[in-house]
Chains A and B, each alone.
Chain A
Amino acid sequence: MQNIQATLPKPRPSEPEGNVALEQGILYVGIDLGTSRTSVSASNGVRESMPSFVGYPKDAVSRKLLKKDVLFGDEALEKRLSLDLYRPLGDGVIKDGGGKAESDANLRAARDLIGEIIRRAKPRKDELVYAVIGAPAQASLHNKEAILDVARQSVDSVMLCSEPFSVAYGLDWLDEALVIDIGAGTTDLCRMHGTMPEESDQITITYAGDYVDGQLMQLLAQSCKGASFSIQMVKTLKEKHSNVSNIVAPILVEFPVAGKPTQFDITADMLRACRAIIPPIVEGLGTLISTFDPEFQHRLKNRVLLAGGGSQIAGLDQAIEAEMLVRLGGGRVLRIDEPVYGGANGALKIAHDMPAEFWQQLK
Chain B
Amino acid sequence: MSASTYTGQASAVALLESLPGIGDVVWGTIMRLASTRVPTSVLFTAAERGAGTSVLAAATAIGLAQHQRVPVCLIETNLRRPALARYLGLKQQGLSEILDGSAELEQCLQEVEQCPGLCVLPAGSARAPVSGEFTAERMSSILARLEQRSHYLVLDTAPLLDHVESRLLLNHADGVLLVLRERATRLADAERAHEILVESGAPVLGSIFNACSGSARFGGNGRVHHAFEKDLRERRAPASLPAGIERNGGTLHTNGNGNGNGNGNGNGNGNGHGKGKGTNGNGIHDVEARLPEEPVSEAAHQHQIAQLERRIAKLTLLLEQSESDLQQSSARADGDPGIASLYHGAQGVAPGDQAQAYKRALMQDIFQANLELKNAMARRT
Contacts and interface: CB of A to CB of B under 8 A. Distances in A.
A231 interface: no
Interface in B40-71: 69-70
Given A14-B344, A160-B373, A362 B367 contact: yes
A26 B363 contact: no
**Taking each of B70, B353, B358, B359, which has the highest tally of chain A beta carbons within 10 Å of its own beta carbon?**
B359
A195 B363 CA distance: 11
Contacts of A196: 362, 365-366
Nearest to A160: B370
B343 A353 contact: no
A11 interface: yes
Nearest to A169: B362
A359 B359 CA distance: 16
Interface stretch (B217-225, B237-245, B248-256, B331-339): B331-339
Contacts, number: 136
Interface stretch (A142-150, A249-257, A303-311, A315-323): A142-150
A24 B31 CA distance: 14
B362 A45 contact: no
A45 B341 CA distance: 8
Contacts of B344: 11, 14, 23-26
A325 interface: no
A125 B338 contact: yes
Given A148-B373, A160-B370, A127 B341 contact: yes
B345 A43 contact: no
A356 to B, nearest CB: 3
Contact of A42 (B341, B347, B348, B364): B341
A356 B346 contact: yes
B367 A26 contact: no
Contacts of A354: 348, 363, 366-367
Given A362-B370, A362-B374, A13 B345 contact: yes
A8 interface: yes
B360 interface: yes
A253 to B, nearest CB: 38
Given A25-B340, A125-B337, A174-B355, A14 B345 contact: yes
Sorting the interface of chain B by its residue count into under 10, 10 to 19, 20 to 34 or 35 or more gives 35 or more
Contacts of A126: 69-70
A350 B369 CA distance: 14
Nearest to B356: A353
A172 B349 CA distance: 13
**Taking each of A123, A169, A354, which has the highest tally of chain B beta carbons within 10 Å of its own beta carbon?**
A354
Contacts of B70: 126
A17 B347 CA distance: 10
Given A25-B344, A44-B339, A127-B341, A355 B363 contact: yes
A68 interface: no
A145 B346 contact: no
B373 A145 contact: yes
B347 A352 contact: yes
B342 interface: yes
Contact of B366 (A14, A28, A350): A350
Contacts of B349: 353, 355
Interface of A: 8-9, 11-15, 17, 21-28, 42-46, 122-127, 141, 144-145, 148-149, 159-161, 169, 172, 174, 194-196, 350, 352-356, 358-359, 361-362
Given A145-B377, A194-B358, 11 more contacts: A25-B344, A26-B341, A26-B347, A123-B338, A124-B340, A149-B377, A159-B366, A353-B349, A354-B366, A356-B347, A358-B364
14 contacts: A11-B342, A26-B343, A26-B344, A26-B347, A28-B341, A124-B337, A124-B338, A126-B69, A127-B338, A354-B348, A355-B360, A358-B364, A358-B367, A362-B367
Interface of B: 69-70, 336-350, 353, 355, 358-360, 362-367, 369-371, 373-374, 376-377
